[in-house]
Structure 1
């Protein structure tokens, strides 16, 4: 499509790239993309096609005029410094399907050690978009650094593999209607002594560390905005109906904001309010229905600033902690709720970090919800905004980890049973970058009702131990950015007392709030919430049909904490371990637990589901009964203070 005359009038003159761009457009839309044959697929792999993830990607800040740029782009491997000479107007040699990691089969590349890369596509701006508006280019996430060029001009640089970013590209658009977009990506993962937030990615996959994700792995899109437009919405709404909102805009000035809140699943107006941009304001909504796992009520809202109109949503709920009959408990809407969920890695055999589709992503969540899980621990990874929306809608509470730095010590229950490359936090620069990105995690995700807890460090990975413990300062940072949630400062090991949780990891049996503990753990601190951050992890080997067909991964299956002979035994062992957890809830102070894990991942075979999502290991009748028994026992335990007070007195005397 071409611009209207009115639209063209405010663009820069046509560049010298106009002729070559038309040639690029022809190639960019061709059909040489081929789905690769990966080590394993899912039921959704063949359904992806060349129009992946067509949904609007940012549900809490939606606009009507937008254009999805996902699809077949061009790609080539690159070298350090190539960004100094972008290949503008030159058709790149390989197709790549955006938004899938370069290592994935769905990308059509399925490469390895993709340290430097070029991406290329072209786009037209719809002529129907309002004349005089700005054109914003948005990226859901690019791992790890992205330098963006429009028509040969560098427009922005971004660092951090998990965070959304955008740039106003209006002044770089070509008047001939066809624009070239180039993205130069640098992703070192764990190369050499580099220490960056990367979660479980490694260039050399080994058992609990997996295939990395390089490049564009979330949706890329354009949108049309007024000159002054909303750039971010900060939303929180508590159980009493108080809404706290900050509407950030491009001008950073104080402008009138008009808010309309609608009844759930209706166009009937629930409430209206007014405020000013770029500063927090509050208003009350009478008698809201509260958000909870059993009733995940959400309210759609419209936000108007000048000529900019945004669609969003909120959920009314309060997260806190308090002493219930002598025990420090997590509270949802003022009531103790036992938190029980899976360790959710978020890896896929066909898309690595990116699920093949929204349908596939929700399949995992619904499978867990169906047997009674009320929570997930999103394990050292950040997901697409549509994942958090799905948890909001399904009523799955989220414990959200900060993606970790590389382990600074060997990992495993005995400090050394798993051989991985480790790298200490060697300098202030790597710590400062981790701190900066932790703040981005909070700022970009604090408006989702389903997130109830932030995790800073996992098992000491990237946690400095040879100086003042950074988790205390970072806990204060997180609290200042978001005072509405709990903080699990250190999940697992190296706990020196920061945060709201005393969080123990132990496999396969739990040690949750108990008067005994194991190596790497610490004695239960009754002044904080007793939590089992990881346990279970029991494995069940499967036929080759369901395995990640990489020989090294298959060879490492026996590294699983426990292998059970068949599914009957696996379910029997699960029942035994859940019964043991129930006993600790009944007798001691356990307030929540995380079962490892949602799915198998590569060489791990300890999931509720196999890695291909084709086999559900759970005896669902048994699992529903056992999970409900945890909730029932916790409710009964909260009404009985005798045991806990005896234990508290004992610990006080130590």
Structure 2
């Protein structure tokens, strides 16, 4: 038996438990050595040399020709016999349409499967058209009894053609999914076999799904990763063999739904499920049919207890076993339902568990898209567990199968993005067809992993089209999971939200944003926020170009700000129905220095114990009804502060009802106001500072002002109150919408029409904390409304004539202001009308 801690033998044993509490050495054992690999002699090892990466990871120097990702690459469909074809291949750049170099040595050497742009590949340059070449031999015994030889490719970016002994055997398009080809009929009777792979990858010159790859990488977009970037291997199979498995757990019904698809019709499938040493369920049926395995009293898979069952599947022809594969599964369910507070929540196994994760982009300074080793691939996920997270959003990339295996084993919920098409064009019908084909392949390849719970077709509108149809299509492919139709639907290039998918997803930096209180049949999540930065000398990809959404000076400050931001998330979970949060991000990526770890994975940036405590406090949070009794506030229409600007001269202006006289900063001029004197601002560097945080911005409040714009086009703020990074609110003109607005960062209540320059308007913004609403009134009439459950806490000054965003003063008012009032309560519509009149 293989249930002790000794190194496993070459044979497969199906009775060992797969519980995560085993020693760390066994975490590798299941997927790496339950199958035996035929030793591969070095091939063209001479001449390969890695280039120097911009940063080295702890695993950079472990990579070489003899150990380029040697682990079995497909843990949910394993076979005993296989041969890894990773290692040194011949390489050459090519021209479009060039014939394959059959029988010709190529000048360069590349280490497969590291992308051609990476240092570990040994090439480290951008190549659009390329050739890979090597030879292999078929091990003795692999051709016995009608066996077929199948080549397997984990992923090649983007279009690949495969030739064996000069014969084209496969063509594949799509940089993120696996493909295979039966090459038996192209083999020579004996001896060396020639394998050539031609690859074309236009990256952002083309229209394909590229995620965040750009030429050249810059800002929030990164170095491309072209060519073969996941493991290549081969294995012998019977003429009729199991091609793939689909497993769908149904814990409430006490069963596992299983479909085993075979390469030829007519076979019989026998499947046995094991818990530890014990077989707990079996089923026999026709290949290709959906079968049901009874799993009584199922041990549920959760992030805190990621229990996995083993699965053995045989294909029979009559009484003869013609194929046998190993797999595993977890028993868990994902759904929407009501939480304890009656709000719609994301449920795991029928219960609400707050999901706390990070944005995980999967980039490496030495391998770009390809982690240098399997331990490196595991590292980021293990770091999530160490820091108290229970979820990860895989952003704009699809990882190798072994990444999902580690998520299954370690216990992390996974949101899987579909990498976006390049957004510089309107997708054509052909673009859409290819995008959807690649997305379906992504879903199909990974739909048996218990860790995967959400599919994300679009992000912030990049390449977005027909979101309703796409959400329904993805749901049709996989009804057992949730669909987040457009992560960041509130921002950027997103199409208007019309209720598509299962989730409303808010992106606000630094945030967290406060998405609408979930009503109806959709959950609310904060799908991106954070981005707090710290520069660590010696560990930056580009020291001069490094940036973050909010930079901090040291680890202690970064840790403090992180705990403050996470406490905001906890309040959203408790009061506002938030189901999940995704912090940006687990590691730095190229110029972005907003990770919990540096890009080279050498340095953690925060106090791990405090990070873990903040994260676990969210997961332990218990929902309660929102709102509650709001303080009545100060009655009447004078407010708690009133600035009539009656002086007409000087560098200060009096608070007529409070004690917060304002200082005029930057030399604003006095002018004729709406009624008597007013304040004239030039649209840069000028504002009035009240010297105090007049409002408790976590509660209800209102602000009003008479305003006149001299010009339109850029954002302009009449009244705001400074927060740590952004203003807690903005009574403003939104340049992005050409409308007046009452806003939080990322949320705007907008007027229906553009204002005129040179004309006075009365604006009132009302924040009602009980209902979680923002309402804008223009000239006493309701003009727009938006939902945002929590207001940002703010101890910064209330200011007139500018806002704050990203830590900087912004949006200076270009025009005149008069009669600014501040109220510590939500005004009624009738009171606003009276105030304007």
Is 1:81 the counterpart of 2:97 in the alignment?
yes
> Which residue, 22, 29, 47 being the options, matches 2:44?
29
Counterpart in the other structure of 1:224: 236
> Which residue, 488, 510, 515 being the options, matches 2:484?
488
Q: Distance in 2 between matches of 1:30 and 1:362?
A: 27
Is 1:341 the counterpart of 2:351 in the alignment?
no
Name which of structure 1's ranges 242-251 and 180-189 shifts more when overlaid on structure 2.
Answer: 242-251
Is 1:384 the counterpart of 2:373 in the alignment?
no
Q: 3-state SS of the aligned residue for 2:620?
A: helix
Counterpart in the other structure of 1:156: 170
Instruction: Give aligned pairs, total.
Output: 585
Counterpart in the other structure of 1:547: 540
Is 1:458 the counterpart of 2:451 in the alignment?
no
TM-score, structure 2 normalization:
0.68
Is 1:64 the counterpart of 2:80 in the alignment?
yes
Contact 2:44 2:90 in 1 (8 A): no
Deviation digits for residues 194-226 of structure 1 (CA, Å, limit 9, x no counterpart): 211010001111111000000000000000101
Q: How does 1:554-593 map to 2 (within 5 A)?
A: 554-558=543-547, 560-593=548-581
Q: Distance in 2 between matches of 1:26 and 1:370?
A: 39
Contact 1:341 1:376 in 2 (8 A): yes
Q: Distance in 2 between matches of 1:138 and 1:585?
A: 44
Q: 3-state SS of the aligned residue for 1:568?
A: helix
Q: Distance in 1 between matches of 2:617 and 2:121?
A: 44
Deviation digits for residues 457-491 of structure 1 (CA, Å, limit 9, x no counterpart): 00000013xxxxx1111111111111100010010
Is 1:478 the counterpart of 2:447 in the alignment?
no
Q: Kindly state the Cα deviation for residue 283 of structure 1 after the two structures are TM-superposed.
A: 2.8
Q: Distance in 2 between matches of 1:643 and 1:160?
A: 52
Q: Cα distance 1:304–1:130, how it changes in 2: closer, same or farther (>3 A)?
A: farther
Q: Cα distance 1:650–1:604, how it changes in 2: closer, same or farther (>3 A)?
A: closer
Counterpart in the other structure of 1:249: 262
Q: Distance in 2 between matches of 1:326 and 1:647?
A: 15
Q: Distance in 2 between matches of 1:482 and 1:601?
A: 32
Counterpart in the other structure of 1:417: none
Q: Distance in 1 between matches of 2:77 and 2:499?
A: 37
Q: 3-state SS of the aligned residue for 2:421?
A: coil
Name which of structure 1's ranges 171-180 and 493-502 shifts more when overlaid on structure 2.
Answer: 493-502
Q: 3-state SS of the aligned residue for 2:609?
A: helix
Q: Distance in 1 between matches of 2:450 and 2:196?
A: 36
Contact 2:540 2:546 in 1 (8 A): no
Deviation digits for residues 422-481 of structure 1 (CA, Å, limit 9, x no counterpart): x122421112211111111111110111000000100000013xxxxx111111111111
Q: Distance in 2 between matches of 1:586 and 1:156?
A: 54
Choose 1 or 2 for highest CA Rg: 2
Q: Kindly state the Cα deviation for residue 129 of structure 1 after the two structures are TM-superposed.
A: 2.3
Counterpart in the other structure of 2:415: 399
Name which of structure 1's ranges 204-213 and 493-502 shifts more when overlaid on structure 2.
Answer: 493-502
Q: Kindly state the Cα deviation for residue 647 of structure 1 after the two structures are TM-superposed.
A: 4.1
Q: 3-state SS of the aligned residue for 1:292?
A: coil
Counterpart in the other structure of 1:536: 530
Q: Distance in 2 between matches of 1:525 and 1:382?
A: 32
Q: Kindly state the Cα deviation for residue 584 of structure 1 after the two structures are TM-superposed.
A: 2.0
Q: Distance in 2 between matches of 1:392 and 1:148?
A: 32
Q: Distance in 1 between matches of 2:129 and 2:446?
A: 29
Q: Cα distance 1:653–1:537, how it changes in 2: closer, same or farther (>3 A)?
A: closer
Q: Distance in 1 between matches of 2:47 and 2:580?
A: 50
RMSD: 2.1
Q: Distance in 2 between matches of 1:242 and 1:554?
A: 54
Q: Distance in 2 between matches of 1:489 and 1:349?
A: 31
Contact 1:115 1:186 in 2 (8 A): yes
Deviation digits for residues 137-186 of structure 1 (CA, Å, limit 9, x no counterpart): 00000000000000000001000000100000000011132100000000
Contact 2:525 2:581 in 1 (8 A): yes
Contact 1:329 1:591 in 2 (8 A): yes
Deviation digits for residues 407-435 of structure 1 (CA, Å, limit 9, x no counterpart): 3xxxxxxxxxxxxxxx1224211122111
Q: Cα distance 1:568–1:27, how it changes in 2: closer, same or farther (>3 A)?
A: closer
Q: Distance in 2 between matches of 1:347 and 1:641?
A: 40
**Which structure's relative contact order is higher, taking Cα pairs within 8 Å and 6+ residues apart?**
1
Is 1:273 the counterpart of 2:283 in the alignment?
yes
Counterpart in the other structure of 2:222: 210
Counterpart in the other structure of 2:137: 124
TM-score, structure 1 normalization:
0.86
More strand by share: 2
Q: Distance in 2 between matches of 1:653 and 1:604?
A: 32
Counterpart in the other structure of 2:108: 94
Contact 2:427 2:463 in 1 (8 A): no
Q: Kindly state the Cα deviation for residue 527 of structure 1 after the two structures are TM-superposed.
A: 4.3
Q: How does 1:413-424 map to 2 (within 5 A)?
A: 423-424=424-425
Q: 3-state SS of the aligned residue for 2:570?
A: helix
Name which of structure 1's ranges 281-290 and 391-400 shifts more when overlaid on structure 2.
Answer: 281-290
Q: How does 1:517-532 map to 2 (within 5 A)?
A: 527-532=521-526
Contact 1:588 1:643 in 2 (8 A): no
Q: Kindly state the Cα deviation for residue 629 of structure 1 after the two structures are TM-superposed.
A: 1.2
Q: 3-state SS of the aligned residue for 1:508?
A: coil
Q: Distance in 2 between matches of 1:554 and 1:622?
A: 27
Q: Cα distance 1:27–1:261, how it changes in 2: closer, same or farther (>3 A)?
A: closer
Q: Cα distance 1:291–1:26, how it changes in 2: closer, same or farther (>3 A)?
A: closer
Q: Distance in 2 between matches of 1:118 and 1:444?
A: 27
Q: Distance in 2 between matches of 1:481 and 1:530?
A: 23
Q: How does 1:102-113 map to 2 (within 5 A)?
A: 102-112=116-126
Q: How does 1:140-155 map to 2 (within 5 A)?
A: 140-155=154-169
Q: Kindly state the Cα deviation for residue 27 of structure 1 after the two structures are TM-superposed.
A: 9.8
Q: 3-state SS of the aligned residue for 1:541?
A: coil
Q: 3-state SS of the aligned residue for 1:373?
A: coil
Q: Distance in 1 between matches of 2:323 and 2:628?
A: 58
Q: Cα distance 1:602–1:474, how it changes in 2: closer, same or farther (>3 A)?
A: same
Contact 1:28 1:74 in 2 (8 A): no
Deviation digits for residues 285-315 of structure 1 (CA, Å, limit 9, x no counterpart): 1112010001000011110002100000010
Q: Cα distance 1:61–1:128, how it changes in 2: closer, same or farther (>3 A)?
A: same
Q: How does 1:342-357 map to 2 (within 5 A)?
A: 342-357=358-373
Q: Distance in 1 between matches of 2:267 and 2:89?
A: 40
Counterpart in the other structure of 2:62: 47
Residue ranges of structure 1 left out of the alignment (5+ in a row): 1-24, 408-422, 465-469, 516-523
Q: Kindly state the Cα deviation for residue 650 of structure 1 after the two structures are TM-superposed.
A: 11
Counterpart in the other structure of 2:182: 168
Name which of structure 1's ranges 268-277 and 640-649 shifts more when overlaid on structure 2.
Answer: 640-649
Name which of structure 1's ranges 501-510 and 268-277 shifts more when overlaid on structure 2.
Answer: 268-277
Q: Distance in 1 between matches of 2:42 and 2:167?
A: 21
Counterpart in the other structure of 1:431: 432
Q: Distance in 2 between matches of 1:229 and 1:73?
A: 30
Q: Distance in 1 between matches of 2:111 and 2:786?
A: 62
Q: Distance in 1 between matches of 2:245 and 2:381?
A: 26
Contact 1:504 1:531 in 2 (8 A): yes
